[in-house]
Amino acid sequence: MLDDLESHDFEPAMDLPEPEAPGGQVPAHAYRRLRRVVVLATAAVSLLPLAITMVINYVQFRDALQAEAVEPMARLTLNTKRSLELFLSERRSGLTFIALDRPFSELCDPTSLTRVISNLNRSLEVGTFVDLGIIDDSGSQLCYSGPFELEGRNYVDQDWFHEVARRGTSTSDVFLGFRESPHFAIATKHDQFDDEFYILRATIDAEMLSEQILTAGLRPTDDVFLINREGVLQSPSRRYGEVLSSIPLPVPHYSPSVEVVEFKDERGRAIFMSSAYIRNSPFVLIQIKPAEEAMGRWFTLRSELLGFLIVSAGVILTVILWGSGRLIMRIREADERRKALYHQVEYSNKLASIGRLAAGVAHEINNPLAIINEKTGLLKDLVTLSDATPPRDKVLGIADSVLASVARCQTITHRLLGFARHMDVRSETIDLHVLLREVLGFLGREAEYRNINVSFDVAEDLSTIESDRSQLQQVFLNILNNALAAVDSGGAINITLESGEDHTVVVTVTDDGKGIPEADIKKIFEPFFTTKKGGGTGLGLSITYGIVKKLGGEISVNSRLGLGTSFTVTLPEERKA
């Protein structure tokens, strides 16, 4: 029968879920780790959306307020640019009109030239031109009207002379020149006969540029000035010095429109710089405004946003820490109650198993009690039915038989009481073969009545183990009870004991019973799951699983429907603390 059983082709071990050992002691660090996970996960879920929202609001508010600050700067720069371009254009047009309206001979007359510059300044409503001169194509000043002694001066080595000779018109940088006073020149070229030309040149004080800038509606705190393409001041600046000083700022790249950029100056302060190139001139209009002045409202709002974020995060973290502490405390209390309940259920299950063994134990005790009764009656008859002294040998034999039967009853009751004691863990050296024989002592009568063949295959090198005897009795009693319930009368159960890997002992209990459906195999270790129709609590294998895990072992099951089931328990030779 066992040969047929061993030939069954069981399915490979199912990959069962790993439920927590019921009633197992959860270490304190596990609760601390759980609290950290809860705090971090909850904080991430709570604070991340808040942080994202704050960043979005931060960027949107900053962009909006920056645009609000930049737009007036750009508008003021544009208005000032147009004012300066109009100012320079009017002066160039006036010079061109004079050259076209008067012949060269009349212009070169000192009296006429003085009258021309006087009329020109009156027509422009501002005393613009300081002097006026006529320069021939060799660079010599032929005629001059003005407060300086410049007649006969030669300008052939001046850059503006070559520019106006090439382009027909020129507006120079601000320079000191022969008069040692900051001014700039506007010159126009006029052709004569035989490829000759003359240049009509007027100079304007650099202060006129500053006056034109001030007419654009600047506030007292605004710093607006002109520079040339090399970064030299053409008008005074509030922050960077007087005319002809170099500014410690980068010269903006050329653009036909107004541009506003933000950067840090030489002192590390954040500033806004609005710039515009003045057409047909070397001038670049610059407006400077510190970021803290331009974005004053933004710095206040930024502080409020950061304050709101810090306060909100603090409140959220406080609630999370308090709530997680309460939650973990409740979980710990629930685990303690579950552990106590499981211990009670485990013990109740053990008592229920003892109840199922009552019939076998009663029969085991009844046999020696019957012998005791029979031998005691015989001894009484020997004493009462004859006046002669009973034979010594016969009386001693009866007494020995009675004592042997009493010892047998004592063994049975001692084994039962030892099995029923409370489930406190106590390690001792155990021979699993002997322990399994003891467990079968409770079940042997049932197997005998149903003609079930129980066999052992024990490896010769089988080691003893350090574990808890009472709890192992509970484990194998549950497994063997299930095996007896699964096989029909005349069936077979085989118990194999062998050494495993990594200093373990492997116990396999195989039956040729009905087997377990594949859908049920994954659930057999779950509490309250049972396949017994009309009976069973569904706690036996769940408790068995928990005990094996608590003892540091592993339990698995293989089964095929209609062919039988095999439970494998792997136990360490030395129980881990």
- The pair of three-digit structure tokens given for residue 170, joined into one six-digit string: 């020129």
- Kindly state whether residue 22 falls inside one of the protein's structural domains: no
- Kindly state whether residue 120 falls inside one of the protein's structural domains: no
Q: What are all long-range contacts of 258-261, with beta carbons under 8 Å and residues at least 24 apart? A: 258/74, 258/77, 258/78, 258/81, 260/70, 260/73, 260/74, 260/77
For the chain, the distance separating the N- and C-terminal CA atoms, rounded to the nearest angstrom, is 42
In this structure, the answer to whether residues 577 and 433 fall within a common structural domain is yes
Name residue 168's amino acid: G
Query: 28 — phi, psi (to 5°)?
Result: -65, -35
Contact between residue 565 and residue 510 where contact means Cβ atoms under 8 Å apart: yes
- Kindly state whether residue 455 falls inside one of the protein's structural domains: yes
According to the model, what pLDDT value does residue 333 have? Answer: 86
CA distances from 459 to 8, 43, 219, 279, 435 (A): 21, 57, 104, 106, 15
In this structure, the answer to whether residues 537 and 556 fall within a common structural domain is yes
Write down the pTM of the prediction. 0.49
In this structure, the answer to whether residues 436 and 560 fall within a common structural domain is yes
Q: Indicate which CATH number applies to the domain containing 555.
A: 3.30.565.10
State the burial class of residue 376 (Cβ atoms within 10 Å of its Cβ: 0-12, 13-18, 19+): middle
Name residue 102's amino acid: R
What is the distance between the alpha carbons of residues 260 and 73, in angstroms, rounded to a whole number?
8
Indicate the residue among 403, 420, 437 that finishes a domain: 420
Which residue range is the domain that position 447 belongs to? 425-577
What is the distance between the alpha carbons of residues 208 and 184, in angstroms, rounded to a whole number?
10
According to the model, what pLDDT value does residue 2 have? Answer: 35
- Kindly state whether residue 130 falls inside one of the protein's structural domains: no
What is the distance between the alpha carbons of residues 269 and 228, in angstroms, rounded to a whole number?
24
In this structure, the answer to whether residues 497 and 545 fall within a common structural domain is yes
- Kindly state whether residue 49 falls inside one of the protein's structural domains: no
Contact between residue 472 and residue 350 where contact means Cβ atoms under 8 Å apart: no
Question: 405-437 burial by CB neighbour count: b if 16+ within 10 A, else e?
Answer: beebbeebeebbeebeeebeeeeeebebbebbe
According to the model, what pLDDT value does residue 458 have? Answer: 92
In this structure, the answer to whether residues 434 and 574 fall within a common structural domain is yes
Contact between residue 559 and residue 566 where contact means Cβ atoms under 8 Å apart: yes
- Kindly state whether residue 406 falls inside one of the protein's structural domains: yes
Residue 121's nearest CA partner among 14, 231, 3, 204 is 204
User: Going residue by residue through the chain (577 aa), what tens digit of pLDDT does each one get?
Assistant: 334 434 444 444 444 444 444 445 567 788 888 888 888 988 888 888 888 888 888 888 778 777 777 888 888 899 999 989 999 998 898 888 888 888 888 888 878 888 888 888 887 765 578 899 999 989 999 999 888 888 888 888 888 888 898 888 999 999 887 778 899 999 999 988 777 899 999 999 998 888 888 776 666 667 899 999 999 999 999 888 999 999 988 899 999 999 999 888 878 888 889 999 999 999 999 998 887 776 667 677 778 888 888 998 899 999 989 988 888 888 888 888 877 776 676 666 666 665 655 655 665 676 677 777 776 776 777 777 666 666 777 777 777 777 777 776 776 666 566 555 544 557 889 999 999 988 887 777 778 888 889 999 999 888 899 998 888 888 898 898 888 888 988 899 999 999 988 889 999 999 998 888 887 887 787 766 666 655 555 567 777 888 888 888 999 999 888 889 999 999 998 876 5
Q: Indicate which CATH number applies to the domain containing 373.
A: 1.10.287
- Kindly state whether residue 139 falls inside one of the protein's structural domains: no
According to the model, what pLDDT value does residue 7 have? Answer: 40
Can you spell out the DSSP letters for 333-376?
Answer: HHHHHHHHHHHHHHHHHHHHHHHHTHHHHHHHHHHHHHHHHHHH
Number of domains in the chain: 2
Can you spell out the DSSP letters for 261-324?
Answer: EEEE-TTS-EEEEEEEEPTTSS-EEEEEEEHHHHTHHHHHHHHHHHHHHHHHHHHHHHHHHHHH
Q: Residue 291, Cα to own-chain centre: how many angstroms?
A: 35
What is the distance between the alpha carbons of residues 425 and 435, in angstroms, rounded to a whole number?
17
Residue 185's nearest CA partner among 121, 111, 130, 236 is 130
In this structure, the answer to whether residues 548 and 433 fall within a common structural domain is yes
In this structure, the answer to whether residues 464 and 570 fall within a common structural domain is yes
Neighbouring C-alpha atoms within 13 Å toward the C-beta of 172: 24
Indicate the residue among 401, 420, 439 that finishes a domain: 420
In this structure, the answer to whether residues 404 and 442 fall within a common structural domain is no
In this structure, the answer to whether residues 398 and 485 fall within a common structural domain is no
The residues facing 384 across adjacent strands are: none
In this structure, the answer to whether residues 410 and 453 fall within a common structural domain is no
In this structure, the answer to whether residues 525 and 380 fall within a common structural domain is no
What is the distance between the alpha carbons of residues 474 and 544, in angstroms, rounded to a whole number?
7
In this structure, the answer to whether residues 391 and 501 fall within a common structural domain is no
- Kindly state whether residue 197 falls inside one of the protein's structural domains: no
